[in-house]
Chain A
Amino acid sequence: MLRIPCPWCGERDETEFRYRGAAHPVRPDAADDLEAFTAYVYERANPRGWHLEWWLHTGGCRQLLKVVRHTVTHEIAAVTGAQEHPSLPPDETP
């Protein structure tokens, strides 16, 4: 069970949240080519380490959150609002 510290509601069980996938892809400019859009929609870094991701707090404040979570240990390093840009801790090989 993950315990996610929501900036608005405090630490809550993962069952209150909906996972919404990787938060690092940045939408290309409308003028960019097919390759850029293919990478944005389909390609994922899928790191074995720190991962920036969206979680929606459906069972609480209903805010969309950015979470920095480790994909091996599940440790959570940061939870912020959607407009913020949390930095990822340095990757140590697990």
Chain B
Amino acid sequence: MSPPPTSPQPRARSPRPSSGRYSLWRLLAEGLRGQRGWSHAWAKAAPKAAYRVVIVGGGGHGLATAFYLASEHGITDVAVLERGPIGLGNVGRNTTIIRSNYFHPANIRFYEHSLKLWEGLEQRLNFNAMVSQRGTLNLFHTEAQRDLFTRRANQMRLLGVDARAVSRAEVKALVPLVDLDNGRYPVLGGFLQPRGGTVRHDAVAWGYARAASALGVDIIEHCEVTGIGRAGERVTGVETAHGFIQADLVCLAVAGHSSHLAAMAGLTLPIETHVLQAFVSEALKPVLDVVLTYGAGHFYVSQSDKGGLVFGGAIDGYNTYGQRGTLPMAEEVAAAAVTLLPGLARVKVLRQWGGVMDMSMDGSPIISKTPLAGLIVNGGWCYGGFKAIPAGGATTAHLIAHGTPHPLAAHLDLARFAAGRCIDERGAGPFPYAH
């Protein structure tokens, strides 16, 4: 007979184990010691009864917010609650592209701030996130599109952001695979942001989690939030799988599920949830060293360091919380791929997956206070949340620490909808499925 299972004892909070500083010398030394000196990158924290700040969602924005709260504002009494393990949500489901080539000046400034933070991120976090500024090349196929892209590039240059026009010949030199004269949509040229590129997305989650944990933030995995506590018009904490956790301030960073969490507090947001698919091909020899986007359909592609082509297209187009895509959009993406790059016709797709996203009513994100005191929302990222992680985290942390929006994110408030200040990058109107 085996002994009866013992009930788990409440554990005393042990001193936070440190994963130490990562360096070439450490790597060499561990190689000689049989790799026995490595420890967990971040501490597996158990929740306390109360925190100054509780961040719901251990994705890119939640972890980055926690890191900047601790590092920039000295606020370390912070818990990040994640329903599953770190890195399995949208931060690990995107196509890893970073860029700041937007249309509206306020968006350019915000995303350029993010790009600058990406440029110093690995040193800041002491974590190799494989930031690769290989350039993003947007192709155009009509004269009208040339005008629009030229205007966009000029707007960027006026704000000191890198962008330049690229001729047909240069497009061919940069990406020999492109079929310039394809029958339906011949390529007339492109516009290049040389500082755009890709980042290893998993490493972004791990790097922020490790750095935040080292500064004293509690990262609590497998801790689903099931309710939000309210006392009148103030939020008091969150109901979780591990009981009620009291908080002076709760920040939702759960893009894809923002409406669901906000509803727990009795709020309705200007957001719908939609699915975006992504695809990876089998590994190829190096064939593509920029991020390439097609202007005559919704298609973008880059090549990962493992050799797989990482690509995607538009959202499936109707409300869904299903983290899977349907075949009509997969077919449309594949058709765009082989129209632009006919050489890919015989490349096999290795994996396909879907991520559910907050599609906001104007296509722009939300970093904002809410009508409830003590509740802040970071969400509405549509299909562009990954590139915004550093700036989203930094500006959300600023809003939490100061109670006033960061100047670069002040336009992303919830009040903009009622006030008629929508930031409609695509000019599609209040229809999330059209952005």
Contacts and interface: CB of A to CB of B under 8 A. Distances in A.
Interface of A: 1-2, 13-15, 19, 21-22, 34-35, 38-39, 41-46, 48, 51, 53, 69, 71-74
Contact of B319 (A2, A13, A22): A22
5 contacts: A14-B328, A35-B418, A45-B263, A45-B268, A74-B320
Nearest to B320: A71
Interface string B300-336: 0000000000000000011111100011100000000
| A46, A71, A72: residue with the most chain B Cβ atoms closer than 10 Å | A46
Contacts of A46: 259-260, 269, 271-273, 319
A14 B319 CA distance: 14
3 closest residue pairs by CB, A with B? A46-B259, A42-B270, A38-B418
A1 B327 contact: yes
Contacts of B259: 44-46
Given A13-B328, A71-B273, A74-B320, 13 more contacts: A1-B327, A19-B317, A19-B318, A39-B268, A41-B430, A43-B269, A44-B270, A45-B263, A46-B269, A46-B272, A46-B319, A51-B319, A71-B320
Contact of B361 (A15, A42, A53): A42
Given A44-B259, A51-B319, A22 B327 contact: no
Contacts of A13: 328
A15 B418 contact: no
Nearest to B271: A46
Nearest to A35: B418
B22 interface: no
- Chain B residues touching A, range: 20 to 34
Nearest to A37: B418
B413 to A, nearest CB: 13
Contacts of B317: 19
Interface string B43-65: 00000000000000000000000
B269 A44 contact: yes
A16 to B, nearest CB: 10
B322 A71 contact: yes
Interface of B: 257, 259-260, 263, 268-273, 317-322, 326-328, 361, 417-418, 430-433
A14 B326 contact: yes
Contacts of B432: 21, 44
A44 B272 contact: yes
A42 B430 contact: yes
A84 B321 CA distance: 26
B323 to A, nearest CB: 10
Given A34-B418, A44-B269, A46-B259, A74 B433 contact: no
Nearest to B430: A41
B433 A43 contact: no
Contacts of A21: 272, 431-433
Contact of B321 (A22, A39, A41, A48): A48
Contacts of B322: 71-74
B319 A71 contact: yes
A72 B268 CA distance: 19
A27 B351 CA distance: 43
B321 A71 contact: yes
A81 B260 CA distance: 29
A42 B321 contact: no
